[in-house]
Amino acid sequence: MGALFLCGDTMIHEAMMAESLNEARAGFAESEVPIGAVVVLNGRVIGKGHNQKERLQDPTAHAEIMAVRDACQNLKSWRLDGASLYTTAEPCLMCLGAALQARVAEIIYGCKEPKFGAVELLESGGFIEYGNHRLAIKGGFCAEECAAILREFFAERRGLGCSPRAE
């Protein structure tokens, strides 16, 4: 029975990571560092977003923040109790903070983000506990696809003679 649930979880994670990758591709098309995110509640996508830092000239316009904002607007609530936040790359300190503030239940991310990824700073035993909230964190879902789109983006920019800019 446990294995069945595990299998179901993995399928949901992969489907939602595919949605997040679609968002990342939308970012790529807008010349943004291609990171995408979705917020899922009861198996349904209630918010999505991609990195829009350049277009908005806003250092907080990360994919996760955009997805959390979208979900909160749709729910008309800042509380995302029980929701899962999927993101193609390991979240930074700010996005982990936003997930904690929104009472997100879990974060599932794709590839590691060596520069600004902050999970290892805060995570212990698969959780971040902060105040009276407990946020579960799992990484490595569809990590190869998530990393590939970032590699492709930066390779393309180097080809164009642009200096790559980290998210």
Active centre residues (catalytic)? 64
Nearer to Zn ion, 83 or 89 (CB): 89
Q: Which stretch binds Zn ion (CB under 5 A): 10-18, 62-70, 121-129, 158-166?
A: 62-70
53 binds Zn ion (CB under 5 A): no
Chain position carrying tokens 């829009």: 52
- Give the tokens for residue 164: 């790559």
**In a 10 Å sphere around its CB, with 0-12 CB exposed, 13-18 middle and 19+ buried, how is residue 31 labelled?**
middle
**In a 10 Å sphere around its CB, with 0-12 CB exposed, 13-18 middle and 19+ buried, how is residue 12 labelled?**
middle
62 binds Zn ion (CB under 5 A): yes
What is the nearest approach in angstroms of Zn ion to the Cβ of residue 123?
Answer: 15
Q: Which stretch binds Zn ion (CB under 5 A): 42-50, 73-81, 94-102, 139-147?
A: 94-102
- Considering only residues 35, 61, 89, 95, which one is a binding residue for Zn ion as defined by CB under 5 A? 95
Nearer to Zn ion, 55 or 158 (CB): 55
CB neighbours of residue 133 within 10 Å: 16
- Residue 52 φ/ψ, nearest 5 degrees: -135, 30
- Considering only residues 92, 107, 108, 128, which one is a binding residue for Zn ion as defined by CB under 5 A? 92
50 binds Zn ion (CB under 5 A): no
Q: At what angle do helices 63-75 and 2-29 cross, to 10 degrees?
A: 110
Site of interaction with Zn ion (CB under 5 A): 62, 92, 94-95
